[in-house]
């Protein structure tokens, strides 16, 4: 069984992930994990914190000499400005006052978190609910990506929409194109559309506003047969949607052509099946690589829509939880848009879900065993 947990606060000492069920014998490349962390910090329209904090992963357990042992892996990502926050955030001993939050920010977990856990200082909520936590999900996802790469599985993301500016794109971009997303300021592959997006970001900044958008994750090299149609909770579309919706600010997940399929005739909404030279294939990929919640051998395509960042430079209306008087919401920090970075988070989450599904099908305690299981399966499907 593969699972992971994260812990840590936005201004605490650091963020932590524990991954259980990573097989022994997987080579862990720390530079690659750090490279993935740096990708999360990319993107036009990010705030000041990205500049002060260059994230770096430290592996604390479960790996010896760069090779996994099969034991739980602990990864930590330090918060570099902790020294300025130590007196407000230390875990034991008295803390200093001065950083309390009593005015909840609309669109954040602040108010519901305060009510639910009984906090009168909402910093106890926002420190944990912050999207800063996605840094360590990206580090965990990098381990999953390294695992999947051993089986030829490659994961990319790119930005389709920022605010109301959207790429007109028919889907099915080649891998070589998708590799270029990180070279672009907003990780959008259409330079002309991207320059319009940049104008929107600049305008939003001038107006003290923020923007949402849509990113897409594309996965190549998946074998047919991951996920299960026989149990609702093992259907891979459901597993992916659940995990991707848990990205802060994600409000919609579409598989393949997704919502657009609702508008077209049935004949045009499916991918017809062909057979040639001993293999089944499709000429289209409207289903985004999943039928019945099971991979069908086509690239996996998932889109995620994000709401605009809720924190505004011009504070929104709120109410002080102590005095119950109206008060403008606290401005904690704000990016203009997080869509390019969220795409990198989306890749990590997708990798973690796929790794779980892959291990469920081909599982073993050592990479050697899993490779044998995988190869056997590939032989059986060639003979099908
Ligand atoms: C990579 C990333 C960065 C984010 N940065 C910010 C930010 O700077 N300010 C902010 O208010 N929200 C930011 N968000 C979004 C909030 O964390 C999110 O809207 C909030 O936690 C409430 O969760 P919900 O929108 O899923 O309901 C970011 C989200 C992501 C994925």
- Binding site residue list for NADP(+): 40, 46
Percent of the chain with pLDDT over 90: 90
Q: Which atom of ligand 1 is nearest to the CA of 341?
A: 1
The CATH number of 3-383, from 3.90.180.10, 3.60.150.10, 3.40.50.300, 3.30.360.10, is 3.60.150.10
Q: CA-to-CA distance for 49 and 334, rounded, in angstroms?
A: 9
Residue among 48, 108, 131, 157 whose CB has most ligand 1 atoms within 8 A, to mutate: 131
pLDDT at position 170 over 90: no
pLDDT reported for residue 330 = 72
pLDDT reported for residue 314 = 85
- Binding site residue list: 40, 46, 128-130, 292, 307-311, 333
pLDDT reported for residue 49 = 57
DSSP secondary structure of 273-341: EEEETTEEEES--TTTTEETTEE-SSPEEEEEEEPPPS--SSPPEEE-TTT--EEEPP-----S--HHH
pLDDT reported for residue 319 = 98
* Domain spans in the chain, listed from the N-terminal domain onward: 3-383
Residue range 308-330, pLDDT digits in tens: 999 988 889 999 999 999 999 97
Residue nearest to atom 28 of ligand 1 (CA): 131
pLDDT band at 44 (very low <50, low <70, confident <90, very high): confident
93 vs 49, higher pLDDT = 93
Q: CA-to-CA distance for 192 and 184, rounded, in angstroms?
A: 11
* Residues within 6 Å of ligand 1 by CB: 47, 107-109, 129, 131, 134, 247-249, 307, 309-311, 333-335, 338, 341-342, 345
- The helices-and-strands tally (H runs, E runs) of the chain is 11, 17
Distance 249 CA to ligand 1 centre (A): 5
Residue nearest to atom 19 of ligand 1 (CA): 249
Q: What residues contact residue 111 under an 8 Å CB cut-off, 6+ apart?
A: 104, 122, 321
Inter-CA distances, 101 with 11, 189, 312, 330, Å:
14, 40, 16, 7
Q: CA-to-CA distance for 22 and 25, rounded, in angstroms?
A: 9
Sequence length of the chain is 384
Q: Averaged over 266-287, what is the pLDDT?
A: 94
Q: What is the CA radius of gyration of the chain?
A: 22
Pairing of strands 273-276, 250-255: unpaired
pLDDT reported for residue 179 = 97
């Amino acid at each position: 069984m593969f699972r992971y947990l994260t812990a840590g606060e936005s201004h605490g000492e650091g963020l932590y992930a524990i991954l259980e069920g990573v097989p022994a014998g997987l080579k862990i490349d720390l530079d690659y994990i750090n490279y993935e962390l740096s990708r999360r910090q990319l993107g036009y329209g990010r705030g000041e914190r990205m500049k002060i904090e260059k994230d770096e992963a430290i592996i604390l357990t479960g790996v010896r000499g760069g090779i996994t042992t099969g034991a739980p892996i602990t990864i930590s990502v330090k918060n570099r400005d902790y020294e300025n926050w130590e007196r407000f955030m230390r875990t034991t001993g008295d803390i200093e006052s001065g950083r309390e939050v009593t005015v909840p920010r609309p669109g954040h977990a602040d108010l519901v978190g305060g009510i639910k856990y009984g906090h009168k200082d909402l910093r106890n909520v926002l420190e944990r609910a912050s999207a800063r936590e996605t840094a360590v999900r990206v580090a965990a996802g990098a381990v999953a990506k390294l695992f999947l790469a051993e089986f030829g599985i490659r994961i990319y993301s790119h930005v389709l929409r920022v605010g109301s500016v959207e790429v007109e794109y028919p889907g099915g971009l080649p891998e070589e194109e998708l590799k270029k997303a990180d070279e672009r300021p907003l990780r959008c592959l259409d330079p002309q559309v991207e320059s319009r997006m940049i104008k929107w970001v600049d305008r939003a900044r001038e107006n003290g506003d923020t923007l949402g958008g849509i990113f897409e994750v594309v996965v190549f090299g998946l074998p047919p047969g991951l996920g299960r149609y026989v149990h609702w909770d093992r259907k891979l579309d459901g597993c992916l949607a659940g995990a991707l919706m848990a990205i802060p600010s994600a409000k919609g997940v579409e598989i393949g052509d997704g919502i657009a399929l609702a508008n077209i005739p049935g004949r045009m909404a499916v991918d017809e099946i062909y057979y040639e030279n001993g293999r089944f294939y499709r000429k289209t990929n409207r289903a985004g690589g999943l039928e019945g919640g099971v991979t069908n051998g086509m690239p996996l395509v998932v889109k995620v829509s994000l709401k605009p960042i809720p924190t505004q430079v011009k504070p929104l209306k709120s109410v002080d939880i102590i005095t119950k008087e109206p008060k403008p919401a606290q401005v904690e920090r704000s990016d203009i848009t997080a869509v390019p970075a969220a795409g990198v988070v989306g890749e990590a989450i997708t990798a973690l879900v796929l790794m779980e599904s892959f291990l469920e099908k081909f599982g073993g305690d050592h990479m050697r065993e899993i490779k044998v299981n995988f190869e056997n399966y590939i032989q059986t499907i060639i003979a099908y």
